[in-house]
Structure 1
Amino acid sequence: MELAIVTGDSKGLGYSVSQSFLNRGIEVIGLSRSGNFLENNHYSHIQCDLGDIRNLESLVVEMAQKVVDKSPKRLYVVNNASKVEPIERLGYLENEQIQSAIHLNYVSPLIINNTLVRELKNSEVELVLVNVSSGAADTPIYGWNVYNSTKAAMNMHTRVVGLEFEQLGKPYMSIAFNPGVMDTDMQATIRGSSEDAFSDVERFQEFKKIGALRSPMVVAEGLVELLVDSELENGRIYSVNEVL
């Protein structure tokens, strides 16, 4: 059997990725602050705030033990949980918001990945780490200091871990996936930004008007097909345009 861990799975891409895994008969453990209403015997949910890293390690250790007990052939770990806020210029940002976003977008997935690799190193499970990226990792966007930098950091984490895995001699993979622009709550947050804080807000509002936002389910199915049916390349940053 195969197993997937999906963070931020209560809505948007995370919800759709969980559903897509389940549609393929892959068991899912979902993590998010609010509940997920997926009704499936192969789905379980852990309610937690991934932005609060104080108890995260112990939670992941417990989750790793569940993985060991289930003894899957392969474990997919999709680090999807993140937030675009705060959208604001340097000098106008709230420092607590900076810390919160960095914890959720960057520190939390590193703790999850590090703890799982450590706890599973004596098991036979094939491990596939998937970090959800963004075009913002490569392109500077006015007012997106925090989101841009955390996504860029996650891409570099992906590449470094891929390099390490190549030399480890175990069936481990580390990739990132840029899902592009989707019709999610995150896009609604972006469209609601002030022009002072985000000078390009009108372009994102236009995406919605002209129907340029993909369905999260369409993107999720492309991602899961990539993970399950393709030969992955360690350390690679994949784009949604490669799978759709």
Structure 2
Amino acid sequence: MKIALVTGVSKGLGESIAKIFLESGIHVFGISRTENKRLAKIAEKNNVNYQHYSCDLGNIIQIETTIEHIKVDLDKDGQSLLYLINNAAVIEPINQVLKVDNQALAYHFQLNTIAPILLMNQFLQYASEKNTDFIGVNITSGAAERPIYGWSAYCSSKASINMYTKTAALEQEELKTGHKIIAFNPGIMDTSMQQHIRSSTKEAFVEVDKFKGYKAANQLRDTDTVGGILIDILNDESSIQNGKIYQVNEYF
């Protein structure tokens, strides 16, 4: 049995990834604050299981409790391959570093960096203990590779995730666990995150007009298309390069 754990399944790329997994015959455990009832219907149609876990990934106590619940359910089902897709993230706070709110900054790093690292650590350990194959994916961004005015939090959190991905993958290679960990940059998509970006002031984010232009010029990709590319990468298991930062633009 193959099971995929996907965070941020309530909408956007997370929903698309979960949907494609289900349509491919893979059982999905979805993690998000809000339940996505559409995924349960898709699971029923494809004769697979979908389980939702309500969790605010910005709250470490909720994360730890959710992990324990998931482990219990994994033990009931058993699995030959376990996927973890760390998709959930926020873009806020968008502002000059001199004006960033402390609490917003702390929540951002809890959700974008600490939560995915904690989840990856825990399920890597679980898979090793259960002799289950494991493939982990951290959704990253091109912002990890360049400084962007107003995006100090987002650039930094995604850069942290890239380095974590490379380091964790290196350890798996040295330990010869067979587990694989990669990152995937989905590029610019038509999501609620893009709506938040476009609503920024130019004082907080000097490139706001560029991002408004992406929408006006219909340059934002559909999340189903991007999610399908990631699933194609994962389906070719023997070709997955441990520690690689995959770029969606390489597939267009």
SS in 2 for 1:91: helix
Deviation at 1:65, TM superposition (A): 3.0
1:47/1:55 CA distance change after superposition, 3 Å? closer
Is the Cα contact below 8 Å between 2:186 and 2:247 reproduced in 1? yes
Q: Distance in 1 between matches of 2:164 and 2:120?
A: 10
Task: Deviation per CA, 1:153-201: give whole Å up to 9, x if none.
Answer: 0000000001001012222001000000000000010000000000000
- 2:188 paired residue among 181, 187, 207: 181
Q: Distance in 2 between matches of 1:109 and 1:135?
A: 18
What is the aligned partner in structure 1 of residue 171 from structure 2?
164
- 2:116 paired residue among 106, 109, 112: 109
Q: Distance in 1 between matches of 2:62 and 2:198?
A: 33
What is the aligned partner in structure 2 of residue 17 from structure 1?
17
Q: Distance in 1 between matches of 2:242 and 2:129?
A: 21
Matched, 1:241 2:241: no
Is the Cα contact below 8 Å between 1:61 and 1:116 reproduced in 2? no
2:6 alignment partner AA: V
Deviation at 1:73, TM superposition (A): 1.1
Q: Which moved more, 1:156-165 or 1:45-54?
A: 45-54
Deviation at 1:225, TM superposition (A): 1.0
Q: Which moved more, 1:118-127 or 1:25-34?
A: 118-127
What is the aligned partner in structure 2 of residue 194 from structure 1?
201
1:76-95 paired onto structure 2 within 5 Å: 76-95=83-102
Deviation at 1:122, TM superposition (A): 1.7
SS in 2 for 1:170: coil
Q: Identity of paired residues, percent?
A: 39
- 1:47 paired residue among 31, 42, 54: 54
Runs of 5+ consecutive residues of structure 1 not aligned to the other structure? none
Q: Hey, which bits of structure 1, 4+ residues long, moved more than 4 A? A: none
Q: Distance in 1 between matches of 2:235 and 2:127?
A: 20
2:122 alignment partner AA: T
TM-score (norm 1): 0.97
- Superposition RMSD on alpha carbons, in Å? 1.1
Q: Distance in 1 between matches of 2:114 and 2:226?
A: 25
1:65 alignment partner AA: V
What is the aligned partner in structure 2 of residue 65 from structure 1?
72
Q: Distance in 2 between matches of 1:188 and 1:207?
A: 11
Matched, 1:100 2:78: no
Is the Cα contact below 8 Å between 1:222 and 1:240 reproduced in 2? yes
Deviation at 1:68, TM superposition (A): 3.0
SS in 1 for 2:82: strand
1:11 alignment partner AA: K
Matched, 1:146 2:121: no
Q: Distance in 2 between matches of 1:141 and 1:159?
A: 23
Task: Deviation per CA, 1:1-27: give whole Å up to 9, x if none.
Answer: 211000001000000000010110000
1:238 alignment partner AA: Y
SS in 2 for 1:197: coil
2:245 alignment partner AA: I
Runs of 5+ consecutive residues of structure 2 not aligned to the other structure? none
SS in 2 for 1:204: helix
SS in 2 for 1:51: coil
What is the aligned partner in structure 1 of residue 5 from structure 2?
5
Q: Distance in 1 between matches of 2:75 and 2:214?
A: 44
Is the Cα contact below 8 Å between 2:28 and 2:51 reproduced in 1? yes
TM-score (norm 2): 0.94
